[in-house]
Amino acid sequence: MLYLIHRIGRAWFYLCTGYSFVVLLAGKGNGIVLYALKHGAVWMFLIVSVVAATVFRRLGKRANKHEHPITTNRVYNSSGGMSSLFGGLIGLASAGVYNSGYPVLWIAAGSFIGGALTQLLIHPLLYAAERLLPSSRRHRAARLALVKTYRREAVLAKQRALAELEANEAKKLEMWNDVLTPKARELASLLITGPASLEANRGKIVDMGIEAWQIGGAGCMRHLHSMAVDVCKQEHGDANTAEFIAPCWEGIGQW
């Protein structure tokens, strides 16, 4: 029943808000209500109230029930829509007091003001006041401490994973260096000077590329190529042989 009243109150609030817009655009009505609706500030208040109603409703859904025991209460949230209905009754009574010829307009304006004030004034103030309660402050402090702990643990876990990855990478490079050093020296010693010597040594170059691919894929092949270039430069003063390695490895794995 409370949920039904809440839904009816919300629908009534938006219906009255739309009706107020129509009256303002049509220029009908008279008295205090229409005079107020003719001002731009009321337009802004109308727009802000609708936006604020949506925002505070979403905040209420995300709020922690221990930190906000009132605004997250089911009865409070369900009966909150009744504010526009009470506002409509007050508007009807005011229309009778002022002998207005537009009671429907007064009802709509009263419903809008009642619902808007609830969302823009009462609910925010109550939401803020709950944060000052001792129990709410304790729960908030505990929640923030827990979040801080989780974040610290997440950072430490990332650091441990990164350190483990770097250690594994270092071990892999060390293993590659041990296995590939003699192969890099063999590649550098080929001293290819032309097409004839290239064709004579193509089989060795391809075989070593396949071995490197089997050891560690394209990354291992690149490492072997880099080592061969360094050996060529250090021992022979140039990298002529290394220039012929990459074209011979075309088609091996993902090279």
pLDDT of residue 109: 79
Residue 48 belongs to some domain of the structure: yes
Does one domain contain both 195 and 123?
no
Residue 43, domain member (yes or no): yes
Query: CA-based angle 101:28:16, to the nearest 5?
Result: 80
Strand, helix or coil at 141?
Answer: helix
- 94, 12: one domain: yes
Number of domain units in the chain: 2
Cα-trace Rg, the chain:
39
Q: How far is CA 186 from CA 141, 195, 213, 216, 222, in A?
A: 67, 19, 17, 19, 16
- Say if 110 falls within a structural domain: yes
- Number of other residues whose CB lies within 10 A of the CB of residue 40: 7
Task: Note the pLDDT of residue 41.
Answer: 61
CB 69 within 8 A of CB 136: yes
For residues 187 and 128, membership in a common domain is answered with no
DSSP per position, 89-114:
HHHHHHHHHTT-S-HHHHHHHHHHHH
Domain final position from 88, 115, 132? 132
pLDDT for res 151: 94
Structure tokens belonging to residue 50? 């609708």
Residue-level pLDDT at 236? 67
Residue 99 to residue 30: CA distance in whole angstroms: 11
CA–CA dist 94, 112 (Å, integer): 14
Residue span of the structural domain in which 44 resides? 2-132
122: number of Cβ within 10 Å: 12
Same domain, 10 and 70: yes
Do 92 and 174 belong together in one domain?
no
What's the pLDDT tens digit per position in 32-77?
A: 455 555 555 666 666 676 676 666 666 655 667 788 888 777 777 7
> What is the per-residue pLDDT for 165?
92
Which residues does the chain have with pLDDT short of 50?
30-32
Nearest by Cα to 24 from 13, 32, 15, 35 = 35
Q: What sign for the dihedral angle of Cα 228, 231, 233, 236?
A: negative
**Is 254 a domain residue?**
no
- Give the whole-angstrom CA distance, residue 138 versus residue 69: 13
Residue 147 in any domain: the answer is no
Question: Nearest CA to 20 among 3, 2, 43?
Answer: 43
Query: Which of 82, 109, 132 marks a domain boundary?
Result: 132
Q: Please check whether residue 49 lies inside any domain of the structure.
A: yes
For residues 178 and 124, state if they share a domain. Answer: no
Dist. CA 108–CA 125, nearest whole Å:
25
Q: Write the Ramachandran bin of 126: left for phi over 0, alpha for psi from -120 to 50, otherwise beta.
A: alpha
pLDDT of amino acid 31: 47
CA 87 to CA 94: how far, in whole Å? 10
Is pTM beyond 0.95? Reply is: no
CB atoms within 10 A of CB 214: 11
Is the domain of 181 the same as that of 63?
A: no
| Judgement on whether residues 113 and 31 belong to the same structural domain of the protein | yes
Q: Which of 106, 132, 158 is the last residue of a domain?
A: 132
pLDDT of residue 153: 95
Tokens of 51: 């936006």
Please tell me whether residues 122 and 6 are part of one structural domain.
yes
Q: Locate 52 and state its tokens.
A: 């604020």
